[in-house]
Amino acid sequence: MERQKTNWWQIVLVLLIGAGAVDGFMWFLYNTYIPLYLQGGNPNFQADVVGFGLTPRSVGLILVLDNIAAFLLAPVIGAISDGYRGKLGRRMPFVVATVPLAALALAVVPFIYRAIPAEASGNFMQLLPLFIPFFLTLMLVLVPLAIARTPIDALVYDLAPSKDRSNARSLGIVLATLLSIGLGIGGGMLYDINVVLPFLLCLVVTIILTVIGYFTIKECKGSEITSENEPAGQSGETGLRHTMAVVRAMPAENKRSIFFMTINIFLGMFGFSLIQAFISSYNMTVMGATQAQAGLPFLIAGATLMVFSFPAALLANRIGRRRTMLIGCAGWAVSALAIFLFPSKALFIPLIIVVAAFYTFWFVNSFVMLIDAAPDDKTIGTMTALTSMANMAGMSIGPALTGFLIEASGYNYGMIFLMQALVITLAFFSLLPVSKGEIRSLA
């Protein structure tokens, strides 16, 4: 049975932690600067950055480790949180135990990076004693966030009924964008003063939001979940086998829609991951940006997401989620191809805005459509894990495969937009067989 009353204040707090601190600011810092630190000093990387001198192929493989961890952990954590019976709730204990740890580890990263001698830049073997703690610290960022992602997303869907999920997702985008833009601009100024400062700012903001959430968010306790709310297909297992058992117990039409929506999310996040992983490299090598300006296109794209997120939700409420996503995929593919064909400084930012606008139409509705492709809300944790697995599979394969392509093409970072156009075209066609996932009527 659907909740008829939505506690938006609770949802805002969850989104401030997840969409704001984690997806907004923490990942902005990680995706903007870590690829530069890893590639800096490579003679083929035409940017004035000190670093470990790795190739795009190696960087692509390193950048997917967080997604691999999330892919492996999502079905386990999703199933565990569905059945967790803790006093603090089913989801928040996982969040409180992991997000501050990740923020602390991220704050350590620039201290290690700053120890790289300029004269040793690009000499990986000489820098190996620094690279090992640098890499291990990255793992302390990635693994806790991989654990936290599914409970955070599931908690939003716990609090928001089907009719409000696109709106909640668009609200999350707005909050994430406001924090990433505001803190990103401030962080960019701080970065020019000292590379450590924006990372410390991220740590402080994340801990404050987590503490507020711990004392304020009142989720449904595990002990309040009755046997009638247990999903079909439960076998006492966790992990992928559990997820597949739950899906197999669903009606055939739901299973078909879940299958194709999983493919769609995989392809969409494959396409998005290319911008996330390599846009700062593209901006510096093709557009001639400075290191402090490297993340600017990502901030502009984020601002566009914020502007178009509520229209994307409203359009979905009017014409349907599937149709809105089809429009998004078509426009996204065409505009990404235009950036590849016309690598102009004058056109780059306007076309990035167009890409981000159409991407928003897809992004706002994709995850919630997969959640609502299930017949009811008894399996929110498990279905959220499935969205996370599709998400992380795309985010893993995308940078790894495209890193090889960039290197094979003679360090042509424009290949990220050609590859993006191809996979989003496939995402468009994967939506055609989907028949479930629109807003469910109240029971």
Report yes or no on 96 lying in a domain: yes
Identify which of 109, 122, 117, 107 has the alpha carbon closest to the alpha carbon of residue 47.
Answer: 122
The fraction of the chain above a pLDDT of 70, given in percent, is 87
**Separation CA 325–CA 267 (nearest Å):** 13
For residue 344, pLDDT over 50 is answered with yes
| pLDDT tens digits, 179-212 | 767 766 777 788 888 889 989 988 988 898 888 8
Give this prediction's pTM: 0.70
Cα distance between residue 331 and residue 74, in whole Å: 31
Q: What is the CATH number of the domain that holds 53?
A: 1.20.1250.20
Give 10-14's long-range contacts (Cβ < 8 A, gap of 24+).
Answer: 10/159, 10/216, 10/217, 10/218, 10/219, 11/156, 11/159, 11/160, 11/168, 11/171, 12/171, 12/175, 13/212, 13/213, 13/216, 13/217, 14/152, 14/155, 14/156, 14/159, 14/213, 14/217
Q: Write down the pLDDT at residue 21.
A: 67
Give the count of domains, the chain. Answer: 1
- Cα(268)–Cα(202) distance, integer angstroms: 28
Kindly state whether residue 413 falls inside one of the protein's structural domains: yes
- How many Cα atoms occupy the beta-carbon half-sphere of 330 within 13 Å? 8
Mean pLDDT of the chain: 82
**229, part of any domain:** no
What is the reported pLDDT for 288?
Answer: 79
Asked if the structure places residue 249 within a domain, the reply is yes
**Structural domain of 385:** 8-221+235-430
pLDDT recorded at residue 231: 47
Q: How far apart are CA 217 and CA 9, in angstroms?
A: 9
Which pair of tokens denotes residue 221? 């306790």
Q: Is the pLDDT of residue 442 over 60?
A: no
Whether residue 340 is predicted with pLDDT greater than 80 in this model: the reply is: yes
* Cα–Cα distance for residue pair 443/438, rounded to 1 Å: 15
- 442 vs 398, higher pLDDT: 398
C-alpha separations of 251 from 368, 373, 425 in Å: 19, 10, 29
Residue 266: inside a domain, yes or no?
yes
In Å, what is the CA distance from 28 to each residue of 19, 113, 152, 277, 362? 11, 17, 18, 10, 21
The encoded tokens of residue 331 equal: 């426009």
The reply to whether 3 falls in a domain is no
| Pick from 168, 131, 236: nearest CA to 18 | 168
Q: What is the mean pLDDT of residues 227-241?
A: 51
Q: Which of 47-56, 101-110, 299-308 has the highest mean pLDDT?
A: 101-110
**What end-to-end distance do the CA atoms of the chain give, in Å?**
5
Pair of tokens at residue 76: 């386990």
Q: Please indicate, yes or no, if residue 217 is contained in any of the structural domains.
A: yes
Instruction: Provide the pLDDT for residue 276.
Output: 75
What dihedral do alpha carbons 229, 231, 237, 242 form, nearest 10°? -150
Residue 120 pLDDT:
92
pLDDT tier at 441, thresholds 50, 70, 90: low
pLDDT in tens, 253-284: 888 999 999 999 999 999 988 887 788 888 88
Task: For helices 415-430 and 321-341, give the axis angle rounded to 10 degrees.
Answer: 160
Are the CB atoms for 371 and 157 separated by under 8 Å? yes
* Residue carrying the six token digits 């829609």: 257
Does pLDDT of 229 surpass 50?
A: no
- pLDDT score for 111: 95
Tokens read off for 106: 């991220």
- Per-residue pLDDT tens digits for 401-420: 888 888 888 888 888 999 99
Give 3's pLDDT tier (boundaries 50, 70, 90): very low
Residue 1 binned pLDDT confidence (cut-offs 50, 70, 90): very low
Calpha distance 435→431 (Å, rounded):
9
Torsion sign (Cα): 92, 96, 100, 102: negative
Asked if residue 226 belongs to a domain, the reply is no
Dihedral angle, C-alpha 338, 340, 345, 351, nearest 10 ° = 40
Lowest model confidence (mean pLDDT) among 13-22, 217-226, 386-395: 217-226
Tokens 């995308």, located at residue: 398
Q: What long-range pairs does 337-340 form, CB within 8 A, spacing at least 24?
A: 337/417, 337/418, 337/421, 339/414, 339/417, 340/414, 340/415, 340/417, 340/418, 340/421
| 133, pLDDT greater than 80 | yes
Q: Residue 71 CB: number of other CB atoms within 10 A?
A: 22
Q: Which pLDDT score is estimated for 147? A: 84
